[in-house]
Structure 1
Amino acid sequence: MSQRITRHLGSALVSNELNLLLFCHYLEVAALMPHRFTRRCAAVLLMVLVSQTQMLHAQPPSTPTSPTADSYHGVKVQDNYRWLEDWSDPKVKAWSEAQNAYARQTLDALPNVEAIRERVTEIMSDESISYGDLHFASGKYFAIKKQPPKEQSFLITFGDLQSPDQATVLFDPNVIDTKGTTSIDWYEPSPDGKLVAISISTGGSEVGNVSILDTSSGKQVFEVVPRVNTGTAGGDLAWTPSSDGFYYTHHPRPGERDESDLNFYQQLFFHKLGTDSATDRFELGKDFPRIAEIEVEVNHSTGLVLCNVQDGDGGQFSHFIRSPSGSWVKLSHFGDKLVQATFEPNGSVLAITRENAAKGRVIRLPDPVNEPNKQLPVIGENNDTVVTSFYRAPPSLLATQDRIYVTYQLGGPSEIRVFDHDGQQLAAPKQLPISSVGGLEHLTDNDVLFSNASYVQPTQWLRFDASNNKTIRTALSSQSKVGFSDVAVSREFATSKDGTQIPVNIIRPKSTTNAGPLVLYGYGGYGINLTPGFNAANKVLLEQGVTYVVANIRGGGEYGEQWHLDGNLTNKQNVFDDFHAAAKYLIEKGYTTSEQLAIMGGSNGGLLMGAMLTQHPDLAKCVVSSVGIYDMLRVELSPNGSFNIPEFGTVKDPKHFNALRAYSPFHNVRDGVEYPATIFFTGANDPRVDPMQSRKMTARMQAANPGGAPVLLRTSANSGHGGDTGLSQRIEESVDRNAFLFYHLGVESERHSPH
C-alpha cells in the first residue's frame, strides 16, 4: 500500500522535505492501524499534503515599482504603485489577471474546497423565496422576488398578500441575460397601478436607464429615459397623481458635460409619457453641488412635489417644495439640521430635525408653500435615535390619515413606534427581540406593511391592522430551510480606548463553550446602522463551530448623529479603536484567541480592515476585505471620490490631510512586518470604490513581506460593488471566503445537512 501511495505523491512530496518527513511518520503510525482505516486516512493525507505543497510553491506575481512623489502641505509622500491606477493600461490588466491566477492557484489548493462548495451551493441555491422593496398602488402589490437558483431577483405584481404565489412576473432579468449580469436597480409603480417605471443596469455598473412596463402584460410601453440612475449619485423617480408623467433624477448625457462629469451634477427633470426625453422639462438643480443626490416625492392628493437633496454622502440636506404654480420654495439649507422630510396625506410636511436634538425629533410644516419657516413640534427627542432614510430606502418616517409611524434605532436593533398626529404614543406592532424593522409601506386607511428580521429568524412581512392593533403575518414571509435553533444570540459591550461602550452582537453555536474560531465583522461609517439581519449562508460558519460577531462601532448612526460624527473626518481613528476594543474584548472574555480570530469588512469596512492590518498586525489570524478603500490620499480623485469628501475629508485641508495620512492603510504598510493572511475582493466595474484601491494595497502588502502569509487579490470581471452580483458569482465568492477562513483558522470542515 505504501508503495502505491508514494507513487501518487510523486514529485509533489519529494520536492518538499517537510511533507516527506511528515508522510514517513504517518506511515509508521498507520502500520499499527486497521487496514481499512489506514487506506482512508492515507487518501485524506495525500489530498492535504498535495494541497499544502501547491500552496507553498505558489508565489504572487512580481509587481514593478515606479516611484511617484506628491507634496501635501510641505510633506512629501512617495507612491511606488501609482501605475496600477490606470485600468486602461494593458499592463495593469495583465497584472490583475496574474493576481487572479495566483489567487486561484492558492484558493483551489485549500483543503475541502469541494465539500465547502457543495454546502455553500446547497444553502445559497436552496434558500427560500424572499420578497423585498414592496409597494402598494391602487389595489395592487408589487415586489422584488428572490428565487434561488435564479441568478437575479425579478419584479412581480399580485393582488393578495396571502397569495404571492399567484403573482404575474413583470420583468425578469434572468430571461434576457442568462449570465446574471443584468439587474434591477429599483422600480416605482404609477398611482393607478397600470404602469411601472423600472431602472435596469448591467455588469454591476448601476448606470440605469428607466423603462416603462404595462402591469397587465409586462410589456414595455412608451420610451426609455436614459441615465436616471448611476452608481455614484443613485437615482429616484416619482409619478404625477394622474400617472401620465414623472419627476426623475437626470444625469448629464454624453455631450452635455465633459466625460469626467457625466456621473455628477444630478438635477430634477419632468418627463411626460409619449414624448422624447430630450425635450423633458428642467425643474430644479442648476445651483446644486456637483455631488448632489436627489430624492423626490409627490403628494397624490395635492400634486405638490417635495425634493430632498443631500450634499454628497455626508448627511447634509436641503429641501424644496414645488408650488401648484410650478415655482420652487426652499424649506431648508445645507447645515440646517433638517435631515428628512415627507408628506402627510393633506399636503403638510413632516420632517426629522436634529436642531437642539442630536438623536432627532419630528416637526410639522403645516403650510410649506406659503409659510416655509413655520415649524410646529410633534414628537420630541428621547433616549433612542430617530432613523433617517435616503437613497431609495423604505421610509423610516411615514404618515397615514391618523397615525405617524417612526423607526427608532436602539444601538443596532431597531423598532417601529406609532403616534397620533399630536405626537401621543399609541400601540405599536408586535416585533421580534434583538431585531430590525423596515420596508414601511402604507396600505389603506392607517394600516401599514413592514418587514422584521433577526440574526436567527428570516424576514417576516407583517401587516399592522391599526383599527384593532393586530399584527398579521403575511405569506410574503420567508422560511429558511436551514435551522438556527442550535444558535444563541447575545449582546454585550466592549470598552473602547476613550471609555465609550461598544455593542458586540454575538451569534454562537449553543454547543460552543470554550475559546474557538470567530469571525468579527464591522463597518463604521456614513451614519449607516448595522442592524440584525438573517443570512442563511452564515450557517456554513456556525455549523463548523465558528462564532460570528457584529460590532456596532462609531461612524455608524446606531446612537444618533453624534455617534456618526465621532467616527468621521478627523475623528476616524475612533472607528478603528472601537473595532480593536471589540476584538480584544472577545479574546479577554474567552470567546476566541488571536490565533483563532478572523476579521471581515467591506467598502468603508474595507478601510477598517486596512487600518486593523497596519495598526494591529498581530490582532487576527486572517483578514477578509471586500471592495475596500486603502489609499486615503487618492480616494477623492476617483470617479466617486468627491461624494466621500464629507465623510473622510480632503487632502486640501491640512487638518484632514494629517488625519488621513495617519491612518491611510496603503501609506502605513511597513516592510518586514508579519501581516496576517489576507484576501482582497473587488469588482472590475465597481462604480463606488475604484478597484485600483485593492490593486495598490495588494501590491504594497506583497512587497512588504514576500515570504510571509499569503496576500491574495480576487477581481471579478462582471461585478461592481456587490449589491447586484448574480447568484453564481456570490456562491463562488462565498466558497473562496469560507475556504480561506477555515484553512487559516484551523477549522476542519465537515459535511453537514440542513436541520
Structure 2
Amino acid sequence: MDRRRAGRGVTRSSHGHPAAEPLDLCEDLGGVRVPDPYRWLEDAETSATRAWRRAQRDLFAAERQRWDSRRHFARVLPDLLPERLNLATVSRGRREFFWRLDRRHEHPVLMVAEEGTERVLADPAALDASGSLVITAWHPSVEGNLLALQFARGGRETGMLCVIDVATGQVVDKALTGIRNSGVAWAPGGSTFYYVGQPLPSTASMPGSERAVMRHRVGTPQSADTVVRPAAPHAAGPYSVAPTVGDRWLVVTSADADRPDRRWTWLADLAGDPVEPALRRVALPDAQIRAVREDGIYILTTHSAPNGSIHVADVRSERSVADPTAWREIVPESPEEILEDFVVLQPPDRSPAALLVHRRRHAASRLALHRLDSGEHVQEIPLPGYGDVRNLRNTTEPIAALEYSDHASSVRTLHYVPGRPRPSVLEPGTDWLDGNSTVMTTHVEYTSSDGTAVPLRIVSRVGRPRTSAPTVLSVYGGFGVTQAPEYAPGIRAWVEAGGVFAIAGVRGGGENGVSWHRSGRRENKQNTFDDVIAAGRYLVAQGWCTKAQLGLHGASNGGLTVGAVLVQQPGLFRAAVCAAPLLDMVRYERLGRGATWSSEYGSASVPEELSWLLSYSPYHQVTQGTAYPAVLFSVFNGDDRVDPAHARKMCAAMQRATSSGARIILREEDELGHGLRTRTAELSHTADMLAFLATELGLRVPPTPQERDR
C-alpha cells in the first residue's frame, strides 16, 4: 500500500464546501490497485476528522437556515401521528402484552392487561430520563408470569437482556450482555429460555467465540449459559431463535456453510428435555415453521416454489420431518402472488379448521381463507384498501390479529374471526388517521433497460391535475426486503403539500419473490441501479415531473442504491437524500456489520467478486469535474450496523469533485443508531429531509392560516 500523508487542514473549496485533503493512497488487492484518498476519515475521532466534521456541521446549519419549508413540515408531522395506538398484542396465560404508542411520548411503552385492567410494565422514559435507552424487544414466557426484556442505549443495536416478574415489575435475573436482535424461546415452566448471543470465554465451544444459540437458566450467571447448536456440518450461522411455537417448540434457523443465502431450520420439543433439546432438521431449506399442532407441523417454504407454498409434516414421525417426500402440500405456489405468512384458525364450534393466508402482489397485501385439511380456497378477506399487513398472529386459536396501514391511513389493529365476512377493528377506541379523501395511490409497471417489467407505486393528491410536480423517488433494492405500501407521516406530509412520492420495487428487493431478490444481488447488482434509472426516466416521460423536479431517496442498502445511481447518472436527478448508506464497497466488510453481508454483495477478498464491487462502488466511481446534483448525506454516529465512515468518505469525494455548484452536505446526529429512536429525533430527521428536497425541487408548501391573514 502506497501512502503519501497529505496536509489535512480544513479549507473552503471553490463551491464553498469544506475541503478535505486527499491522500495519495492505493491498496493492492490481489494485483488490483484500489485508490482510497479519504481513508483517514474512517477514524471519527482524530483531530483532523473532528475538524472536518465541525466544518460540515457548520455548513449543514447554514444550509438548513434557507429551507423555508422546514417550519411547515415540523408543524404538520406530529399531527400525522395517531393520538394513541396499541400494537403487537400477544396473549400468554391470563395476560395480554402490547406496545402502546402515544403522540406525547418519545418511545413506545410496554403494557400488560389482566382481567380488564391494564398497566405499564416497562417505560423507557422511566428507566432512563435522557431518552437514549430504547426497548428493542420483549418476550413473555409461555405462562405469562415472566418476561425477557431487551434494551440498548445510544442508538446501538447490541444491548442487554433482563428478566422481570410480570406481577411486580421487579427484575429477577441480572442483565445478559452482548445481545443483538435476538429472539427468545421460553421452555414451559419459565425456568429456562434460549437466545442468540456471544458465548463467554468459560462457555465458548466454537472457534472464535462466534454468536451461537445459548441456553440460559433464570437466576444463574451468564457465564453458566451453555451452547445449543445443530450437530450438522452445514450449520454455519448466523443463527436465529423464534419465539416458542405452540407453547413448547424451539425453532432454530441457521445459514448453510456453502450457501450463506440459504437457511436451514431445526425443531426441538421443549416439553421433553429442555437442558439438551433434541434438534431435528426440517427436510427442506428455506422452510419457516408457522404452527405446530397435534396433527402436524405447518411449514412455509420457498424451496422449489420461489413464491412460497404451505406444507404439513407429521410431528410425531422422525422420518416425516426429515424426508420431504413424506410432506403433504396443502396450499400450492401462486404464479403471481408471494406467500408471506399464515396462521391456523380453529373455530370454537368444531367447524373445520382453516388457514388465514397473507400474500402480496406487487408488495400490496391480500388475505384469503383456506381449508386446513385440503388447502381449498374458501374466500378472499377484504382489507380496508391497497395497503400493508404486518404481524399476522393468533390471539387465541379461533382469532387472528394483524396490523394494517396504507399510504393514506395510519396503522390500526384488525382481527379476523371465522364466519365474519371481513376483518373488523379489534379496538374500536384506538385512534387512527384516515387520509383517503386527500391521498391516492396509483400502481403501474414500467420497463427497465433489459425489458423487465418493474412495479411502481405513485402517491399523489386526490383530484390533482396531471401536471408536473416536485417528485421524490424512493428506492431500496436489497436483501429481499419489500417496500410495502405502509403508512409514513413523511410521505403523507409531502403529498398533502402538493408533491408526488413514488416507490419503485426494484430488483434485489422482495416485491416479486425470491427470484426477484436473486436477480438484484451479487453479480446481478447492476440490475438494481438500472431499474432505478428507468424509474426516474419513466416519471419524467409520463409527465409526473421534470428532471429539475425529480429527487431520489434511500436509506441503508437504499443509500447504496442512491449513491450508485448518482455516480452513474448524475444528470437525471436534481437532488438526493442518502441516509445511513453503504458507499465504499471495497472496504464495507471491515466497517460496521459489513462482514455479515457477503452473501448479498460478494467479498473483496475474492478476485471475481472484487470486480463486481468495483464496477459500481459509489465511492470509487466519483469522477472529478462532474456536475453532481444536490445531496444530503444523513448519518447517525451511534450506528453500529452501517458505519458513518461510508458517508463521510463519499461526501468528501463528491464535494471535491463536483462542478455543478449544487450543495453536497452532511447531517450528523449523536446518540442515535440504525434502528429505533425517539419520536422527536425521528420527526426532526424527516422534517429536514423533506425541507431539503422541497427547497431543491421547488415545492412551495401551503401557507399557514396566520401567513394567509397577513
If the length of structure 2 is used for normalisation, what is the TM-score? 0.89
- Corresponding position of 1:505: 457
Q: Tell me if structure 1 keeps the 8 A contact 2:638–2:673.
A: yes
Partner of residue 19 from structure 2, selected from 29, 40, 62? 62
- Corresponding position of 1:213: 164
Deviation at 1:105, TM superposition (A): 1.6
- Corresponding position of 2:670: 717
- Corresponding position of 1:331: 281
Q: Which runs of 5 or more structure 2 residues have no equivalent in the other structure?
A: 1-11, 347-352
SS in 1 for 2:228: strand
- Corresponding position of 1:251: 198
- Corresponding position of 2:310: 362
Partner of residue 289 from structure 2, selected from 321, 324, 341? 341
- Corresponding position of 1:133: 88
- Corresponding position of 1:240: 187
Q: Tell me if structure 1 keeps the 8 A contact 2:199–2:214.
A: no
- Corresponding position of 1:123: 79
Q: Which runs of 5 or more structure 1 residues have no equivalent in the other structure?
A: 1-54, 389-395
Which deviates more, 696-705 or 407-416?
407-416
Deviation at 1:291, TM superposition (A): 5.1
Which structure would you say has the larger Rg?
A: 1
Q: Tell me if structure 2 keeps the 8 A contact 1:295–1:309.
A: no
Partner of residue 56 from structure 2, selected from 95, 99, 122? 99
Which whole-Å CA distance do the structure 1 matches of 2:623 and 2:15 have between them? 23
- 1:332-374 Cα deviation digits (max 9, x unpaired): 58xx543322332227322222332221212222137622223
Q: Tell me if structure 2 keeps the 8 A contact 1:675–1:709.
A: yes
Which whole-Å CA distance do the structure 1 matches of 2:483 and 2:382 have between them? 21
- 1:256-290 Cα deviation digits (max 9, x unpaired): 789x977xx22112222222232123222687877
Deviation at 1:699, TM superposition (A): 0.7
Amino acid at match of 2:39: R
- Corresponding position of 1:591: 544
Relative to structure 1, the CA distance from residue 711 to residue 415 in structure 2 (aligned partners, 3 Å threshold; closer, same or farther) is same
Deviation at 1:327, TM superposition (A): 4.8
Partner of residue 100 from structure 2, selected from 142, 145, 169? 145
Which whole-Å CA distance do the structure 2 matches of 1:494 and 1:477 have between them? 41
Relative to structure 1, the CA distance from residue 520 to residue 437 in structure 2 (aligned partners, 3 Å threshold; closer, same or farther) is same
If the length of structure 1 is used for normalisation, what is the TM-score? 0.84
Q: Tell me if structure 1 keeps the 8 A contact 2:477–2:508.
A: yes
Relative to structure 1, the CA distance from residue 299 to residue 577 in structure 2 (aligned partners, 3 Å threshold; closer, same or farther) is closer
- Corresponding position of 1:322: 268
Relative to structure 1, the CA distance from residue 640 to residue 347 in structure 2 (aligned partners, 3 Å threshold; closer, same or farther) is farther
Which whole-Å CA distance do the structure 2 matches of 1:111 and 1:472 have between them? 43
Which whole-Å CA distance do the structure 2 matches of 1:409 and 1:477 have between them? 29
- Corresponding position of 2:384: 432
- Corresponding position of 2:242: 296
SS in 2 for 1:224: strand
Relative to structure 1, the CA distance from residue 541 to residue 261 in structure 2 (aligned partners, 3 Å threshold; closer, same or farther) is farther
Q: Tell me if structure 2 keeps the 8 A contact 1:519–1:600.
A: yes
Which whole-Å CA distance do the structure 1 matches of 2:162 and 2:614 have between them? 45
The answer to whether 1:704 aligns with 2:657 is yes
Partner of residue 251 from structure 2, selected from 294, 298, 306? 306
The answer to whether 1:270 aligns with 2:226 is no
SS in 1 for 2:293: coil
5 Å-filtered alignment, 1:563-642, equals 563-642=516-595
Root-mean-square deviation (CA, aligned residues, Å) is 2.8
- Corresponding position of 1:154: 109
Q: Tell me if structure 2 keeps the 8 A contact 1:304–1:347.
A: no
The answer to whether 1:731 aligns with 2:677 is no
Relative to structure 1, the CA distance from residue 679 to residue 285 in structure 2 (aligned partners, 3 Å threshold; closer, same or farther) is farther
SS in 2 for 1:167: strand
Which whole-Å CA distance do the structure 2 matches of 1:560 and 1:209 have between them? 35
Q: Tell me if structure 1 keeps the 8 A contact 2:498–2:701.
A: no
Amino acid at match of 1:146: L
Relative to structure 1, the CA distance from residue 300 to residue 487 in structure 2 (aligned partners, 3 Å threshold; closer, same or farther) is closer
Which whole-Å CA distance do the structure 2 matches of 1:434 and 1:129 have between them? 23
Q: Tell me if structure 1 keeps the 8 A contact 2:212–2:237.
A: no
The answer to whether 1:418 aligns with 2:369 is yes
Which whole-Å CA distance do the structure 1 matches of 2:453 and 2:568 have between them? 21
The answer to whether 1:493 aligns with 2:445 is yes
Relative to structure 1, the CA distance from residue 220 to residue 738 in structure 2 (aligned partners, 3 Å threshold; closer, same or farther) is same
Deviation at 1:617, TM superposition (A): 0.4
Which whole-Å CA distance do the structure 1 matches of 2:627 and 2:126 have between them? 49
**Higher strand fraction (1 or 2):** 2
Relative to structure 1, the CA distance from residue 249 to residue 751 in structure 2 (aligned partners, 3 Å threshold; closer, same or farther) is same
Partner of residue 131 from structure 2, selected from 180, 195, 202? 180
Q: Tell me if structure 2 keeps the 8 A contact 1:518–1:598.
A: yes
Which whole-Å CA distance do the structure 2 matches of 1:677 and 1:749 have between them? 20
Relative to structure 1, the CA distance from residue 503 to residue 251 in structure 2 (aligned partners, 3 Å threshold; closer, same or farther) is same
- 1:193-251 Cα deviation digits (max 9, x unpaired): 22221101111101121122222333323332222x32xxx211011122232111122
The answer to whether 1:474 aligns with 2:422 is no
The answer to whether 1:443 aligns with 2:395 is yes
Which whole-Å CA distance do the structure 2 matches of 1:385 and 1:548 have between them? 25
Q: Quote the sequence identity (%).
A: 25
- Corresponding position of 1:694: 647
Relative to structure 1, the CA distance from residue 130 to residue 57 in structure 2 (aligned partners, 3 Å threshold; closer, same or farther) is farther
Relative to structure 1, the CA distance from residue 344 to residue 255 in structure 2 (aligned partners, 3 Å threshold; closer, same or farther) is closer
Deviation at 1:474, TM superposition (A): 1.8
Q: Tell me if structure 2 keeps the 8 A contact 1:338–1:351.
A: no
- 1:138-158 Cα deviation digits (max 9, x unpaired): 242211122123111110122
Relative to structure 1, the CA distance from residue 474 to residue 140 in structure 2 (aligned partners, 3 Å threshold; closer, same or farther) is same
Which whole-Å CA distance do the structure 2 matches of 1:495 and 1:294 have between them? 38
Q: Tell me if structure 2 keeps the 8 A contact 1:291–1:642.
A: no
Which whole-Å CA distance do the structure 2 matches of 1:384 and 1:680 have between them? 37
Which whole-Å CA distance do the structure 2 matches of 1:384 and 1:753 have between them? 48
Which whole-Å CA distance do the structure 2 matches of 1:237 and 1:327 have between them? 15
The answer to whether 1:382 aligns with 2:382 is no
Q: Tell me if structure 1 keeps the 8 A contact 2:251–2:267.
A: yes
Deviation at 1:663, TM superposition (A): 0.9
Amino acid at match of 2:143: D
Which deviates more, 421-430 or 207-216?
421-430
- Corresponding position of 2:298: 350
Between Structure 1 and Structure 2, how many residues are aligned?
A: 676
- 1:566-592 Cα deviation digits (max 9, x unpaired): 010111111111111111111111110
Deviation at 1:634, TM superposition (A): 0.8
SS in 2 for 1:624: strand
5 Å-filtered alignment, 1:449-468, equals 449-468=401-420
Deviation at 1:563, TM superposition (A): 0.6
Which deviates more, 471-480 or 507-516?
471-480
Which whole-Å CA distance do the structure 1 matches of 2:277 and 2:193 have between them? 17
Relative to structure 1, the CA distance from residue 740 to residue 311 in structure 2 (aligned partners, 3 Å threshold; closer, same or farther) is farther
Partner of residue 693 from structure 2, selected from 709, 721, 741? 741
Q: Tell me if structure 2 keeps the 8 A contact 1:321–1:368.
A: no
Deviation at 1:296, TM superposition (A): 3.0
Amino acid at match of 1:208: G
Which whole-Å CA distance do the structure 2 matches of 1:157 and 1:428 have between them? 33
Relative to structure 1, the CA distance from residue 717 to residue 746 in structure 2 (aligned partners, 3 Å threshold; closer, same or farther) is same
